[in-house]
Amino acid sequence: MAASGDATGQDRAIAIEAPVAIEINGLGYAVLMATPVDLNDLAYGFVLAERLIDTPGDVIEVAVHPVAAGTLLRVTLTPDRHHRVADRVRHRVSESSCGLCGIENLEQALRPLPALSVSSNATPAAILAAAATLRDHQPLARATGATHAAALCAADGTIRLLREDVGRHNGFDKLIGAMRRSGLDWDGGFALLSSRCSFELVEKAVLAQCPLLATLSAATTLAIDRAAQAGLPLRTLVRGDAMLAT
Give percent of the chain with pLDDT exceeding 70. Answer: 89
Element (H, E) at 237: strand 234-239
- 75 has pLDDT over 50: yes
For strands 213-215 and 190-193, give the pairing.
Answer: parallel
Of the candidates 146, 113, 145, the one whose C-alpha atom is nearest the C-alpha of residue 226 is 113
User: Is 98 known to be catalytic?
Assistant: yes
In terms of Cβ atoms closer than 10 Å to its own Cβ (0-12, 13-18, 19+), residue 141 is middle
Look at residue 51 in the predicted model and tell me its pLDDT: 95
- Average of per-residue pLDDT across 28-54: 97
Can you give the pLDDT at residue 106? 60
Question: pLDDT at position 94, please?
Answer: 42
pLDDT of residue 246: 92
| For the chain, percent of residues with pLDDT exceeding 90 | 85
Rounded to 10 degrees, the C-alpha dihedral 182/183/189/194 comes to 30
pTM across the whole model: 0.92
Give me the pLDDT at residue 107, please.
64
- Mean of per-residue pLDDT scores for the chain: 92
Nearest CA among 135, 142, 134 for reference residue 12: 142
Give the strand pairing for 234-239 and 242-245: antiparallel
Compute the C-alpha angle 48/46/179, nearest 5°.
Answer: 70
| pLDDT level of residue 102 (50, 70, 90 thresholds) | very low
Q: Average the pLDDT over 24-52 and give the result.
A: 97
Q: Where does the pLDDT of residue 98 fall: very low under 50, low under 70, confident under 90, or very high at 90 and above?
A: very low
The pLDDT value given to residue 108: 66
- CA 45 to CA 53: how far, in whole Å? 10
* Environment class of 242 (CB within 10 Å of its CB; exposed 0-12, middle 13-18, buried 19+): exposed
Q: What is the pLDDT of residues 230-244, one digit of tens each?
A: 999 999 999 999 999
pLDDT value at 174 more than 70: yes
| Residue 97 confidence (pLDDT) | 40
Q: Place 197 in a pLDDT band, splitting at 50, 70 and 90.
A: very high
**Is residue 105 pLDDT above 90, yes or no?**
no
Q: What is the pLDDT of residue 11?
A: 81
What pLDDT does 243 receive? 98
Measure the CA–CA gap between 12 and 1, rounded to whole angstroms: 13
Residue 45: pLDDT band by 50, 70, 90 thresholds?
very high
In 3D space, the residue among 153, 117, 118 whose CA is nearest the CA of residue 134 turns out to be 153
